[in-house]
Homo-oligomer: A and B are copies of this chain.
Amino acid sequence: MGPQSTNVETPRLAAAKIGNDVGLLLAKLHAMGSVLNNRALSDFGLRERSFSVLTLACSGLEPTQRELADFLSLDPSQVVSLVDDLEHRGLVERAQGKQDRRAKIIVSTAEGRRIHTKARAALEVCEQTQLAALSEEENAQLRALLKKALWG
């Protein structure tokens, strides 16, 4: 089955003290979610990565590619590929930076926003599936803790 599996049986190995390793817990939960997310996003020709870029492009924050790279923890060259793809499909556009002419600002097209809205709805179903074991309150708590860990 491999990395794609969504098998959620409780493995006896969870007993190992590795089950307290935050790094591994994050990796596992992320891996599990990625499978679900990418599966759902494939209906829109998107993957987690390109969806994230599209989301930022739709945010109105007018991110530069450098900012996208920083925020998404990607190499700048990876952002080039992702934006290339989205641009070819008419979902985003490169605009010239306002203060800095080296920078390119990524903005969504109307079609991009249309796709994004639908994809986002599909993803919310995935999140519910992924965090089904958590109550609504715990769900919010998890989000808050992750955000706090990231940005204080």
Contacts and interface: CB of A to CB of B under 8 A. Distances in A.
Interface string A32-63: 11100100000000001000100110010101
Given A18-B59, A56-B18, A73-B32, A141 B143 contact: no
Nearest to A145: B142
Interface stretch (A82-90, A93-101, A128-136): A128-136
Count identical subunits in the complex: 2
A67 B30 CA distance: 19
Interface of A is mostly: helix
B150 A22 contact: no
B150 A28 contact: yes
A34 to B, nearest CB: 7
A122 interface: no
Interface residues of A, number: 68
Contact of A27 (B48, B76, B151): B48
Given A18-B52, A146-B25, A63 B13 contact: yes
A94 to B, nearest CB: 17
A123 B25 CA distance: 14
